[in-house]
Structure 1
Amino acid sequence: MASSSPHKNILLLIADDLGKYVGCYGCKSIKTPSLDKLAAQGVRFDNAFASTASCSGSRSTIYTGLHTHENGQYGLHWFRSHFQTFHHVDSAPLLFNQAGYQTGIVGKIHVGPPEVYPWQVRKESDTRDVAWAADEGEAFFKAAKHSNRPFFLTVGYIDPHRDIQTRGEFGNVPEQYGDRISIPEVKEEDVEIPHWINELPQTRYEFKEYYKAINRTDTGVGLILDALERQGLAEDTLVIFTSDNGPPFINSKTTLYDAGIHLPLIVRHPGSKKGAVNPNMISFIDILPTMLDWAGLDLAMKGKDGLSPPRRGRSFLPIIDREDEVDASTWQHEVYGSHTFHEMQNYWPTRILRTKQYKYHRNIAWRLDFPFAADLYASLAFEEIRNMDPPVKVGNRTLKDYIFRPPEELYDLENDPEEIHNLAEDEESQKLLLEMRERVTEWQKETGDLWLYRDGQSVTVLSRYAKDGMEVPERLDFDAENPGTKGVVMTKHLDKDAYSAGIKETKY
């Protein structure tokens, strides 16, 4: 890889709904030669986790280093919902603009508003023509070289997302593409059906089409990396590849089960060990600090108004070559997750804590049905699943348990990687349950989470009355049969006026 640039450039590649369906992640039936090659040239992280399993929200955490309940991108950036990142939040394009970088994005954007994400070059498109994306990327590289500026380019692929206009399809129409893109033949009997979805004919059909879209994503990655090489910039560019959330099937996308958030993260760092497999836990809020670190910028840098919340992620560059589990005093052994909406009608707030062995879910609106994203409800796979002989299951989970979830879930991932056997009610697990609940609570307090609930109310909002002696029962949910407060343990978490402090800090 020849070099002609003195700069520290960044190329961020984001697939849409990919999950870990990549050859180098152990999926033997998929063909992803470009991603496998990238992993061989760089580092494959085996324990990378999105904060949320929804497109806009996940992208916002990558771009801001903040969870969605901090940055305001509570759900999909779609005109009917108007979910947007808060105006006072610093984003990657804003910070890199401030540092003198040429910034740009090609393809899917799906976050807003534009003034919060001020990419200088903005080539938004919903095309699946990955050759077009590579050409636009190469034009961007040439312009950066001509201006003698470092660059930060993001490519947002539409693939392998479902075709939102046609049931069961994934954009696999050969005449839409030029001769640089081929759609491979995939046999239904050759695809791998994961444990979290049912082995059924329509599932196999949809996974066959999904595989084709994944291959197109891989082709796009190869094309843009070739363009980077042609421009002599590969040796000076940090390349990061990931996906926003898990595959577009129920029991994965929009859930905080591992199928929805345990994702690929491949990083080619100039000078790092080739082909390394890193087992350490990475959160998507660590990606922006890592990019700032690579660029030699202050990891705590702020925009000009200085109002954005502090980023809590960390740069993983210091441990990028490690193929062992780094000591907890040096690196995190846990990650947190935050989901509130997908589409506007898909309200189901959940907060999680995941360690290497255990996973805790706090399902705040557990009395509601777990909602279906429209594209998942309309899928051919789900139509066949729901018409199975009872008891209907989604993978090894009953459909009833998928839709009706308890206020808390606790799983031993070493013995139950599918997150089926909830330990929250087990007497011997109560100490662990309370410990993990408390850790999530403290994280919610630290991040100003409006969905920190006690007695069915937002403790963050009620904290403005703390000075008046306001007390709230420590129970998670309101008890309509026994609503009284006499003789009830009161929460210790209503201890400061976090709500008004937040308003003052952000001028809202």
Structure 2
Amino acid sequence: MRRKIYASCIFLSVCILLQIDCIAQRTPQQKSKTPNIVIYLADDLGYSDSGPYGNKVVKTPHLDSLASGALKFTNAFANTPTCTPSRSTIMTGLMPSRNGSHANNVNGYPVSEVRPGVQTLPALLRQAGYRVALAGKRHIGPLNVFPFEWIPLSEVREPGHENTPGLFTDLSTEAVDKWLAQQEGGQPFCLVVSDHSPHVIWPQQAVYPLKDIDVPPDAIATDEYRQMRARYYTDVTKMDNNLGRVLESLEKHGFEGETVIIFTSDQGAQFPFAKWNLYDAGVHVPLLIKWPGRISAGTTEALVSHIDLLPTVLALAGAKIPAGLDGKEYMKVLLGKKQAHRQEVFLTHSQDGLMNITPMRGVRTQRYKFIENLSPQYTYRTHIDGARDHDGGASYWISWEQLAEKNDTAAAALIERYRHRPQAELYDIVNDPYELNNLAGKKEYNDVMQQLKKKLSGFRAQQKDTITGPILDIKSNWKGEGATKK
């Protein structure tokens, strides 16, 4: 009897030792089912302006490396094309009409901040046991609704512009590295790294020669335009270098194998038919998601949008997803169990201060896009053509105006298309990726337009989106340097 007990004890001891050894041999990814999460948010980066998305001019080696091990989305969209409203959709899983942040930079009016009581990403992840921090650009509010741990000194002035007024703010990756060094691994973290690049002001000294700069068909190839695009690409590469340093820090501190890395942009770049517009150049964004050992590298054409990011992050964290969100998690797409997610995404832009006051709404499917311009009676303006003290496009816009004055038909047509928007726009994105040929009013596309118009109308009703024009009283508030009626 004693021999049997003795043998049993030996057997049990061996099993325990084997189990301990097995645990010791696990990789960091196997230690916990709860991953760390890093969301790297570029500022004003266009979909096609990096190596993973086919750009042959700009150099983005760190994005290229990240993409090689990530799931790359080719149909990811911002729901709105300006900074604060877009970031608010990411952080709330709600469209602007429901979260409250539906305009940008309207001083004195609470239309850029989310409503009190709205649930946000940092609050929800903290409830799930995460430490949640943000480095770099904020541009969300009110801050008490976004209970981030703000990483000290992560937002700095660009070297050489410490005392220069204007948009010369930079991300400090050294502050990010210092914060990561303090994490001990006992508590999972979510780190949002919010870069200021490639938002204007772009570096004055471009590293790309003008002869190599590509010119899309919705632009005029003046030297001034090529110079500005070269500066933009230089800032894209700067952003890529920042990303590389953050990825290096994750590896250095032992977090790479147990961290989900999400890379995206808030909206497109500051060019005439991109930011502030519902064209794809304004709302089509890069999206890379990497989770070593769990998400297979590859490409998906699944249609997703920024409102889907919050519930997906919560699902990755194993946290409860609140009811009533506009966004839907796409874990099955990430894990290769589904190839599709949405049939359409909805798009909205209200205004940006007193410069851009022409609200628009849209719906995008895999093939078509319908845009409804809510105030076509107003001339479309942005900081590009309307702000002469703003180094974000005035130089090349003036060169285009000069060409138009000399009867250059291409320049004149581009300026006319930019300034005067029809009430309805319909595009076949597959055959017309730059959205140059408006199909609205063409008989053969009437059924498509009516279907999309009905979808958009139903969506606006569900959202209680009743905006039909500029938010502000233009006559009493306008100073004369922005939009004017036709």
Closer, same or farther: CA 425–292 of 1 in aligned 2, 3 Å: same
Aligned counterpart, 1:138: 177
Closer, same or farther: CA 25–363 of 1 in aligned 2, 3 Å: same
Whether 1:118 and 2:147 are equivalent positions in the alignment is: yes
Note the C-alpha offset of 1:135. Answer: 2.2
Closer, same or farther: CA 13–77 of 1 in aligned 2, 3 Å: farther
How many residue pairs get matched? 426
Note the C-alpha offset of 1:17. Answer: 1.1
Note the C-alpha offset of 1:394. Answer: 7.7
- After TM superposition, the score normalised by the length of structure 1 is 0.78
Q: Which amino acid aligns with 1:243?
A: S
Aligned counterpart, 1:153: 191
1:410-429 aligned within 5 A? 410-429=426-445
1:356-371 aligned within 5 A? 356-371=366-381
Deviations 1:292-336 (A, max 9, x none): 0000012226xxxxxxxx21211122112549953xxxx212111
Whether 1:405 and 2:421 are equivalent positions in the alignment is: yes
Deviations 1:240-293 (A, max 9, x none): 111111111111111000111111111112324554011111111111111000
How far apart, in 2, do the equivalents of 1:172 and 1:406 lie? 36
Deviations 1:91-120 (A, max 9, x none): 111111222211111111111110111102
SS in 2 for 1:88: coil
1:47-66 aligned within 5 A? 47-66=75-94
SS in 2 for 1:315: coil
**Residue number among 393, 401, 411 corresponding to 1:386 in the alignment:** 401
Which range moved further: 68-77 or 83-92?
Answer: 68-77
Aligned counterpart, 1:74: 102
Q: Which amino acid aligns with 2:35?
A: K
SS in 1 for 2:359: strand
SS in 2 for 1:348: coil
Q: Which amino acid aligns with 1:254?
A: W
Closer, same or farther: CA 132–51 of 1 in aligned 2, 3 Å: closer
How far apart, in 2, do the equivalents of 1:134 and 1:224 lie? 6
Q: Which amino acid aligns with 1:204?
A: R
Aligned counterpart, 1:34: 62
Identical pairs, percent: 29
Closer, same or farther: CA 382–113 of 1 in aligned 2, 3 Å: same
Note the C-alpha offset of 1:76. Answer: 2.4
CA contact (8 A) 1:251 1:394 kept: no
Aligned counterpart, 1:251: 273
How far apart, in 2, do the equivalents of 1:322 and 1:92 lie? 25
Closer, same or farther: CA 12–192 of 1 in aligned 2, 3 Å: same
CA RMSD of aligned residues (A): 2.7
Aligned counterpart, 2:334: 320
Closer, same or farther: CA 297–428 of 1 in aligned 2, 3 Å: same
Note the C-alpha offset of 1:203. Answer: 0.8
How far apart, in 2, do the equivalents of 1:213 and 1:413 lie? 28
How far apart, in 2, do the equivalents of 1:394 and 1:22 lie? 28
Aligned counterpart, 1:222: 244
Closer, same or farther: CA 344–97 of 1 in aligned 2, 3 Å: farther
Note the C-alpha offset of 1:193. Answer: 2.0
Aligned counterpart, 1:351: 361
**Residue number among 233, 236, 243 corresponding to 1:211 in the alignment:** 233
1:256-271 aligned within 5 A? 256-271=278-293
Q: Which amino acid aligns with 2:179?
A: F
SS in 2 for 1:239: strand
**Residue number among 100, 103, 109 corresponding to 2:129 in the alignment:** 100
Closer, same or farther: CA 96–354 of 1 in aligned 2, 3 Å: same
CA contact (8 A) 1:196 1:394 kept: no
Deviations 1:119-155 (A, max 9, x none): 0234462545799632222222233326x21111111
How far apart, in 1, do the equivalents of 2:92 and 2:289 lie? 19
**Residue number among 84, 87, 95 corresponding to 2:113 in the alignment:** 84
Whether 1:200 and 2:238 are equivalent positions in the alignment is: no
**Residue number among 193, 197, 203 corresponding to 1:171 in the alignment:** 203
Closer, same or farther: CA 378–222 of 1 in aligned 2, 3 Å: closer
SS in 1 for 2:143: coil
How far apart, in 2, do the equivalents of 1:394 and 1:31 lie? 30
CA contact (8 A) 2:68 2:297 kept: yes
Closer, same or farther: CA 395–276 of 1 in aligned 2, 3 Å: farther
Q: Considering fraction of residues, name the structure with more helix.
A: 2
How far apart, in 2, do the equivalents of 1:344 and 1:420 lie? 27
Deviations 1:331-388 (A, max 9, x none): 2121111110123442222111111111001111121111213448753121111221
Closer, same or farther: CA 46–99 of 1 in aligned 2, 3 Å: same
Note the C-alpha offset of 1:9. Answer: 1.2
1:319-338 aligned within 5 A? 319-320=333-334, 322=336, 325-326=339-340, 331-338=341-348
Deviations 1:377-428 (A, max 9, x none): 7531211112213666788963212211121111122222222222221223
Gaps of 5+ in 1: 164-169, 174-183, 302-309, 459-508
Whether 1:311 and 2:325 are equivalent positions in the alignment is: yes
Gaps of 5+ in 2: 1-25, 160-168, 472-486
CA contact (8 A) 2:95 2:326 kept: no
Aligned counterpart, 2:11: none
How far apart, in 2, do the equivalents of 1:12 and 1:108 lie? 13
How far apart, in 2, do the equivalents of 1:367 and 1:323 lie? 47
How far apart, in 1, do the equivalents of 2:270 and 2:293 lie? 36
Q: Which amino acid aligns with 1:125?
A: E
Pick the structure with greater CA Rg. Answer: 2
Deviations 1:434-479 (A, max 9, x none): 211111111112222122x6xx999xxxxxxxxxxxxxxxxxxxxx
- After TM superposition, the score normalised by the length of structure 2 is 0.81
